[in-house]
Structure 1
């Protein structure tokens, strides 16, 4: 089994590149599954790890885990209080707007109650078109097919928020079986060797919970998305694995203990 790509580790937390298709942890919806990111990471580093946020199974990219329950609580609070900056890259159908704030309330999708019984919660995502391409092929009713590379910055943390917001705006993410269009998903899978959800978490930034540092993680794309970007002429937008720790000026949690 290929080792996980660990982007950063200290005595308090670890950042890792989550592969597409890998569940983060066991759940009631994961019956029959035997492989999970949490267990693989624990076995690889030889330490117990604590999840503090989530990525959907088909989404790849940077995830942070705490190495103690205390740090997990601090990081979870930072995520829930919107103190974490997140950026994603998505390949969508259509040209997409140059920039826009998508402000559509969303019902929570927890699988335990009918959607009609779930309250609609505020949800906001900032999107920006980084590039676009027009392919001389007829995929649906149009003689050419247009696709765009979008950077998405979710300002809230609703389930499937980016996928649902882009779909509602009319620019579904390629490979999204639930919110996208199957004809375009098939075209990318069969003709462009991209049979996965084309959504990746490429950037996280937050104040370290116990050190006086601002943590900034950038995560490269996997082989599938990297090859696709080269094919579509988007190689200039490929992120690289990197960790930045510029100094922070406010008192750290460690100093307050």
Structure 2
């Protein structure tokens, strides 16, 4: 068996043929592995070298002379089994999903099987295309919207890019900040851009993940009984905004290894509520994740 672990090819096709055979000849990989990689989105194709690249999953697809391809093969990534998202509400033109920890919001050049969008396409009923509306970090769990046509994606994306969506997160941080019910605002700029987070203390002694039995996620889940549970409402959506704001305030999120949080098998941060006036139906919509469903609080079973 081939020991090739990673291949990156970006080139223009010089001789027509089916995608699987051309890639097998070009890479030396068995056709079975080529087919698996294509099915998982590792091949992107641009007909005649014009327009945007699109994923090509059919191994029998004919690639013509002059077409451009980008084939990014990573054996380690392709063997990963993605955690499955859960549909919270299906509104037809869009749906609301619970994204588990570890699942990417969208794919990369190496494929999309480990992304929310691809898993939504595979598990929607009825099956439909999935378009990105907004993102949450890979390690973050919780509510996220997915559009099912280009019109809905454009309108919802525009809505989420402004300040017309109410977005709340649950976060468990290290230490005791203040008494229950206390409120404060962090407005520290991020990467030179305005960023505002409104904090409410929900529980000053909240345990983060009370599981004691071994699980697939970690064999040593341990109780952290010194956390402080917060509700965080964000006005802006800068990259890692909540994590950076809480770290800067001296209260890093538990499990946030990147921004100085205490060790924990999960990042204790969950998108818990989204509310907005739908630009499609013009009706108010509110989607809430019950606290009992939050994995790092011992829920989600």
Q: TM-score, normalised by structure 1?
A: 0.71
**In 2, distance between residues paired with 1:196 and 1:3?**
16
Deviation per CA, 1:4-51, whole angstroms, max 9, x where unpaired? Answer: 3211112211101111111111136xx587411110101111100111
| Aligned residue in 2 for 1:236 | none
SS class of match (2:286): strand
Q: CA deviation at 1:2?
A: 7.2
**In 1, distance between residues paired with 2:83 and 2:203?**
32
Q: Greater CA deviation, 8-17 or 196-205?
A: 8-17
Residue pair 2:197, 2:242 contacting (<8 A) in 1 also: yes
Q: Give ranges in structure 2 of 5+ residues lacking alignment.
A: 1-81, 208-223
Structure of higher RCO (CA pairs closer than 8 Å, 6+ residues apart): 1
Change (3 A) 1:6 1:127: same
| Matched ranges for 1:1-257 at <5 A | 4-27=85-108, 31=110, 34-45=113-124, 46-97=127-178, 98-107=182-191, 120-133=192-205, 146-181=226-261, 184-185=262-263, 189=264, 195-220=265-290, 222=293, 224-227=295-298
**In 2, distance between residues paired with 1:4 and 1:130?**
27
| Aligned residue in 2 for 1:234 | none
| Aligned residue in 1 for 2:55 | none
Q: Over alpha carbons, which structure has the higher Rg? A: 2
Q: CA deviation at 1:134?
A: 8.4
**In 1, distance between residues paired with 2:278 and 2:150?**
15
**In 1, distance between residues paired with 2:83 and 2:205?**
34
Q: Give ranges in structure 1 of 5+ residues lacking alignment.
A: 108-119, 136-143, 190-194, 229-239, 241-257
Deviation per CA, 1:144-172, whole angstroms, max 9, x where unpaired? Answer: 97320011011111000000000000000
**In 1, distance between residues paired with 2:177 and 2:104?**
30
SS class of match (1:179): coil
Change (3 A) 1:156 1:134: closer
**In 2, distance between residues paired with 1:151 and 1:167?**
15
Change (3 A) 1:32 1:44: closer
Change (3 A) 1:164 1:5: same
Q: How many residues align?
A: 197
Deviation per CA, 1:113-168, whole angstroms, max 9, x where unpaired? Answer: xxxxxxx1111100111111289xxxxxxxx9732001101111100000000000
Deviation per CA, 1:197-241, whole angstroms, max 9, x where unpaired? Answer: 00000000011121131110012455632318xxxxxxxxxxx9x
RMSD: 2.4
